[in-house]
Chain A
Amino acid sequence: MNTVATGLLAPLLLLPLAGAALNGAVGRFLPKPLSAAIGLVPIAVSFVLALVAALQLHGLGGAEAYGAAALTQDLGEWLNVGPLVANWALHFDAVTAVMALVITGVGFLIHLYSVGYMHDDEGFAKYFAYLNLFVAAMLSLVLADNLILLFLGWEGVGLVSWLLIGFWYKDAEKVDAANKAFIANRVGDLALMLGVFLLFGLAGTVHVGELREWVSHLSPAQITAGGTLLTTSTMLLFIGCTGKSAQIPLYVWLPDAMAGPTPVSALIHAATMVTAGIYLMVRLNFLFVLTPVTLAVVAVIGLATAIMAGTIGLMQNDIKKVLAYSTISQLGFMFLAVGVAAPAAAMFHLVTHAFFKALLFLGSGSVIHALSGEQDIRRMGGLGKVLPSTSKTFLIGCLAIAGFPLTAGFFSKDEILWSIMNNQQVLGGPALSSVLFPLALFAAFLTALYMFRLYFVVFAGEQRLTDEAKSHLHESPAVMTGPLWVLAILSLVAGFAGLPHFTGLPNLFHHFIAPVIAPTEALVRSVYSHDSGAIWGCVGAGTVAGLSGMGLAFVLWGRGGERPARLAASWPRLHALVLNKYYIDELYEFTFGKALRIKSRVYDLFVDNLVIDTVAVGGAGWLSTFSGQLIGRLQNGNLQRYLTIAFIGLAIVLFLIARGGVTP
């Protein structure tokens, strides 16, 4: 373990927290430019600090050694209960560096964009306080040295997500969406907690470094013996990740989460928070690699989510909902990558996705801003000419996500596709891979299709605007288009950080995070060797899938016309099924909602009304009244009756004494 103590990490984490506290406490008394500065400066400084820390980390090297080079900072004791030790300790390894740079870098651009987007909002300072709090919580999640502190950040981002989805809390629908997100996340969080407890029970530590140490000393026999428990713990962690990262079966909250301000959707519900699950699985890849069953489940669930969300996204008419389902679909791709033992590909796609999805969300925000709040793409169209910067950057985002050659998404998605074939031995032979690969290609095809549908419907064709939207039609100010261009450039060039091996050029990204994912890499190397022919095949297939998706989108939506409607009419049932999102919300409503209501009714009638109200509460009252009436008869005001009773009592006492039974 090559770790170096540093003082950089605490300010990195605490500056956004200070910004949140300051804006939260006094922000509403300050002029807007000042509270915007309070929001922006800490994130900018944190970004610089993260950059310095990353460079320092790079200087440490140690890529070849088994064990992660890392910067650490211990801020003191937190929990010390028997064997459970959890400190306020921060840990900065290569994967953390990537996450911290994305969080603060993309976070800063989104903060900047928000200055323009939220300019007329009365909750301006509150908004920046929440946004800073989010960055602080997310940083504590990724910087945590132990799983307990990680869980604190995990819950922190959940809290801020709830606050920001329900930011416009006067609208009951938005509040419901916030609650839905929070409750769906609680289900996952419970599983995550159980997973952490189980790990603690097995290894006796919650410290990530010590866990890794523990795993490295396990003999193959011990791993076989403890396989079920290990698999259970990784499965529980994975279920926790499905909640936060919006995978089947807990993805239902993310589309509704679009009720929040659009920059929030970009930052929290596309670029950073929802990737926490992938981060956690990559951070703990040394555990997941021991449990091939969990990996297979992760891969299958991820791919199923990718396809399902892709098809739903194809039918949505709300610009943000399309992007939400696209996010779910891309997160599914990342899960797939983790599942096929390719954490480097997952992280790489996470980063490129953070760039182009943040770009797409901010672009959609720019469109919504220009159209005075219109979100329905059926009432858009032909915006390419009036919103030049937005439409160009949006097109770049679409190209990147669709995997157009040499954009960021091209490299990251093809690396995932290639990993499915390359790592097939990890999945227990070629059987699973040969199913996953064509389906993954189909998901990539869907991605291109729904993104270019969105692009053509919104920016091409003729304008279908309402009069209200037309009245204020304008390109967004520079403070909003600036971040769009920065993200667009990143979406174009970020891919070159992770060039595939066969080009002979260094894969910088992979090389950088190699120490952290060494256990998985070792396993993959032990069962398979690189084959450049297959790589060309994968890249070719991925590119063809993306381009054909784009082509089909152009044929269907690029020139207007009735084709999509005719196509929908020819398969009415399938169309209705997908349009209604496979009735999953209805299914949850029926199974959980209805069951809960029936159970509540039973409890209401029997337990509450009968047992508690009638027997317990009513019975106690009745007993008091009854006994009171009974005894009250004695208290009738007749002195002689009292005396009679007293004398009878005296006589009884005397009789008992005389009999010798009682000693006075």
Chain B
Amino acid sequence: MSLTLEHYLLLSAALFTIGAVGLVTRRNVIVLFMCVEIMLNAANLALIAFSRFHLVADGQMFAFTVMAVAAAEAGIGLAIMVNIFRHKKSLLVDDLNVFKN
């Protein structure tokens, strides 16, 4: 049995779903962040799989771009989180409601 595109895409969909479910169910901002990373990587996986099977390099280029963006996002996001924690002594999203009302 060889690996087909379908296997990759199923894995990608599974990863994306895990990320999405985590994103809507978890409360800790760091975990949410990790869920977002999982979803981005699920997308990357799908891009690379298509790229490989169609023998076109464009998808890989996209994947690199996404990684770069994800790295930048992680840097900024973590910095924000550190500041939020200093301020609120908590990283649960339920507590981060200063703008509400």
Residues of A within 8 A of B (CB): 636-640, 643-644, 647
Contacts and interface: CB of A to CB of B under 8 A. Distances in A.
Contacts of B99: 637
Interface string B68-87: 00000000000000000000
A644 B97 contact: no
A643 B23 contact: yes
Nearest to A654: B13
A637 B24 CA distance: 14
Q: Is the interface of B mostly helix, strand, loop or mixed?
A: helix
A647 B93 contact: no
Nearest to A642: B24
Contact of A644 (B24, B93, B100, B101): B24
Contacts of B100: 636-637
Q: Is the interface of A mostly helix, strand, loop or mixed?
A: helix
B41 to A, nearest CB: 18
A655 to B, nearest CB: 13
B40 to A, nearest CB: 15
B20 interface: yes
17 contacts: A636-B100, A637-B97, A637-B99, A637-B100, A637-B101, A638-B93, A639-B93, A640-B23, A640-B24, A640-B25, A640-B93, A643-B20, A643-B23, A643-B24, A644-B24, A647-B20, A647-B24
**Chain B interface residue number, banded:** under 10
Contacts of B23: 640, 643
Interface in B5-26: 20, 23-25
A647 B22 CA distance: 12
Contacts of A643: 20, 23-24
Interface in B47-99: 93, 97, 99
A478 B26 CA distance: 108
A137 B25 CA distance: 86
A657 to B, nearest CB: 14
A639 B94 CA distance: 9
Contacts of B24: 640, 643-644, 647
A644 B24 CA distance: 6
A518 B100 CA distance: 94
Nearest to A650: B20
A68 to B, nearest CB: 88
A643 B97 CA distance: 16
What 8 pairs between A and B have smallest CB-CB spacing?
A637-B100, A644-B24, A643-B24, A640-B24, A647-B20, A643-B23, A637-B97, A647-B24
